[in-house]
């Protein structure tokens, strides 16, 4: 086994180590604009820097956060005092990661479906990101459910791209995080979500095998099996946990380094409760943790936005609390009573 592969396996294991998960702060400038608009803060290079510095410099964050997914701009940024964000993360025991896809675009010939782009030039970008300090990467594909979708062609195209991306990551020494998100948008029931998620994951792991991706150095970032947001019948916490785990048991090889969940539109509390319920099941073949964006940031963003100059510590306290709650959920030890501490 090569030194590079050993390093990736160790990195992947650290990303899903006991009681720790990944913070997703890889929002594009456009998405960040929407978030800042919601709190009345102008979205500038400086304000994005200050916000992300607030998050990454939270004291003790590394106790529950193992890594953070960054946007290209953020990986290259430094604090106002000139300290590179990568150094701040490393000093806080947080592994730097990087979003490398170029976004989801319409899939030609398939109305309503999307394909994620960004493979062109990826090898060179990954080499640069490694030199900048990143040790894992993320690529997101989106699968839409409606009356006629998803098509097998869409699933195949996105899973093939995910596998090619993953192989390029491992060539460069970066742990690939593969994210096939089955969207919550729509009125489909949980049974339909299960069917689509199962098909997507089966296709993904077939493609990862075909591209010689080493699963022990790979992380799956997955949506949970939940009914569409507009479905009149929403499953309870135990039903979501059972459906999601059954889907994984049928599709995800035990050799995979670990699974982290995206929150996908769930509230902060819902995302924590679902993760906790799954981790209360004993003898799972892989670590189950979190890689939340809004479900970790929402409260912190709101507090910070009310007064970015004076509310840094208060916003960090919100982030630290949510990180701790999800760290407990990643061990099946969450208790809702702790929310009021």
**Short-list 4, 21, 10, 15, CA closest to 169:** 4
Instruction: Give the number of other CB atoms < 10 A from CB of residue 260.
Output: 26
**Short-list 162, 165, 143, 164, CA closest to 154:** 143
Rg (CA), the chain: 19
Contact present, 266 and 275 (Cβ < 8 Å): no
Say how far apart CA 323 and CA 319 lie, in whole Å: 6
What are the C-alpha distances in Å from 240 to residues 46, 58, 65, 223, 243? 40, 32, 24, 11, 5
Instruction: Give the number of other CB atoms < 10 A from CB of residue 138.
Output: 26
Q: Report the catalytic residues.
A: 179, 221
**Short-list 275, 290, 233, CA closest to 17:** 290
Say how far apart CA 209 and CA 203 lie, in whole Å: 10
Contact present, 32 and 76 (Cβ < 8 Å): no
Buried residues in 268-306 as b, exposed as e (16+ CB within 10 A): bebbbbbbbbbbeeeeeebbbbbbbbbbbbbbbbebbbe
Residues 6+ apart with CB under 8 A from 329: 272, 273, 275, 276, 279, 290
- Tokens standing for 272? 């924590």
């Amino acid at each position: 086994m090569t030194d590079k592969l050993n390093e990736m396996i160790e990195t992947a294991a650290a990303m899903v180590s006991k009681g720790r998960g990944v913070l997703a702060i890889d929002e594009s400038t456009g998405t960040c604009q929407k978030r800042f608009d919601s709190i009345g803060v102008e979205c500038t290079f400086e304000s994005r820097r200050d916000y992300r510095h607030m998050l990454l410099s939270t004291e003790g964050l590394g106790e529950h956060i193992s890594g953070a997914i960054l946007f290209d701009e953020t990986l290259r940024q430094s604090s106002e005092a000139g300290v590179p964000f990568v150094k701040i993360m490393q000093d806080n025991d947080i592994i730097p990661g990087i979003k490398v896809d170029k976004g989801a675009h319409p899939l030609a010939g398939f109305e309503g479906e999307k394909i994620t782009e960004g493979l062109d030039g990826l090898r060179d970008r990954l080499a640069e990101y490694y030199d900048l300090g990143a040790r894992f990467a993320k690529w997101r594909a989106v699968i839409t459910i409606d009356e006629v979708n998803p098509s097998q062609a869409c699933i195949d195209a996105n899973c093939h791209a995910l596998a090619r991306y993953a192989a390029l990551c491992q060539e460069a020494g970066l742990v690939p995080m593969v994210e096939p998100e089955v969207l919550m948008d729509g009125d489909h029931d949980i049974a339909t979500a299960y069917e689509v998620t199962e098909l997507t994951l089966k296709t993904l792991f077939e493609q990862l095998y075909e591209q010689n991706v080493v699963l022990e150095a790979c992380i799956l970032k997955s949506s949970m099996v939940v009914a569409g947001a507009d479905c009149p019948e929403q499953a309870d916490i135990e039903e979501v946990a059972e459906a999601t785990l059954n889907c994984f048991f049928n599709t995800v090889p035990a050799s995979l380094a670990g699974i982290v969940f995206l929150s996908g539109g769930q509230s902060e509390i819902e995302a924590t409760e679902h993760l906790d319920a799954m981790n209360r099941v004993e003898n799972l073949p892989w670590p189950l943790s979190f890689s939340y964006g809004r479900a970790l940031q929402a409260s912190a963003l709101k507090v910070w936005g009310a007064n970015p100059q004076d509310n840094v510590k208060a916003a960090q306290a919100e982030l630290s609390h949510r990180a701790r709650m999800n760290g407990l959920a990643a061990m099946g030890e969450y208790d809702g009573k702790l929310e009021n501490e």
